[in-house]
Structure 1
Amino acid sequence: MTHTQLTELVRALLDAPTSNETVKEFAQSWIDAEDTPKQAELTKQLVSVAEQNIALIDETIGFAGSERATQILGKEGAAKLLQHAKGIKAEGAEFCDCPACEAAKNIIDLKAEIV
């Protein structure tokens, strides 16, 4: 894996609108540490950060059916998310397919090349 490819993976985490603040801060720190020993240390943590922040599809379904989802997304938005999550689970999805989880999944899938 090239440094450019790794940077693209980290930038995807940063740019995903559904990434939480902890992930965004980590990704920004990684980018800000370009060409420093700190970046190498953060790279060692990257897969762990991705693994800790990817949502299993059942977690997404649980969230989508919650009052919190209704508060955040509105009744219609929560219902759409719930329907979508159940649909992709029925098709065999193991993880949420939002941009943040997709970015995390890409990192996890390439962990042998990253570590």
Structure 2
Amino acid sequence: MKKETLDYVIEKTHVLMNAASCSSEAKAAAQSWLDAVGTANEAAETKKYIAELEADIMPINNLIGFADSEAGVKCFGAELAKNIAAHAREIKAAGAGYCDCPACTAVAEILARKTELL
């Protein structure tokens, strides 16, 4: 892997880990990957990291469905859930395929370099 790609993904991984919206599973996978960089385990951890990121990124339709659901209202509160659903519909109409929260944005940026990582 090119140093430029590695540096970029390391930077975006730190952004991901610092995002309030980052899941504990993604955070753990990110840390495991960072710990493996430059070791014999790097390739295996990279595959695990990519798999976790692909599982965690929130497709826009799933976000809309969740925000509009009873579970979304319980999670976010009625007003915030309504606002999240409206925002998600706006970005979907503009062409977004995924949530644009800080964690999903970082994941999308990392996954854009997936072929360079593997």
- What TM-score comes out, normalization by structure 2 length? 0.86
The match for 1:55 is 58
Partner in structure 2 of residue 65 of structure 1: 68
CA contact (8 A) 2:29 2:48 kept: no
One-letter amino acid of the structure 2 residue matched with residue 52 of structure 1: A
Q: 1:76 aligns with which of 74, 79, 85?
A: 79
Identify the residue that residue 94 of structure 2 maps to in structure 1: 91
For residues 1-29 of structure 1, give each alpha carbon's deviation from its aligned partner in whole angstroms, at most 9, with x where no partner exists.
42322211221221121111111111122
1:36 alignment partner, SS class? coil
Q: Percent of counterpart pairs with the same letter?
A: 37
Question: Which blocks of at least 5 consecutive residues in structure 2 are unaligned?
Answer: none
Distance 1:6 1:49 in 2: 15
Give the aligned CA root-mean-square deviation in angstroms: 1.6
C-alpha deviation, 1:34, in angstroms: 4.7
Say which SS state the counterpart of residue 37 (structure 1) adopts: coil
Q: Which AA in structure 2 matches 1:111?
A: K
Query: After superposition, what is the alpha-carbon deviation per residue over 1:52-87, rounded to whole angstroms, capped at 9, x for unaligned?
Result: 111110000001101111112111110110110011
61-70 or 30-39, which deviates more: 30-39
Q: Aligned equivalents of 2:29 and 2:50: distance in 1? A: 12
How far apart are the structure 2 equivalents of 1:86 and 1:46? Answer: 29
Aligned-partner SS, 2:58 = coil
> TM-score if structure 1 supplies the norm length?
0.88
- C-alpha contact 2:25 2:52 (8 A) present in aligned 1: no
State the distance in 1 between where 2:49 and 2:111 align.
Answer: 9
Question: Greater shift after overlay, 33-42 or 44-53?
Answer: 33-42
Instruction: Please identify, of 44-53 and 58-67, the stretch whose mean Cα deviation from structure 2 is larger.
Output: 44-53
Per mean C-alpha deviation after superposition, the further-off stretch among 36-45 and 90-99 is: 36-45
Paired position in structure 1 for 2:12: 9
Moved more, 26-35 or 101-110: 26-35
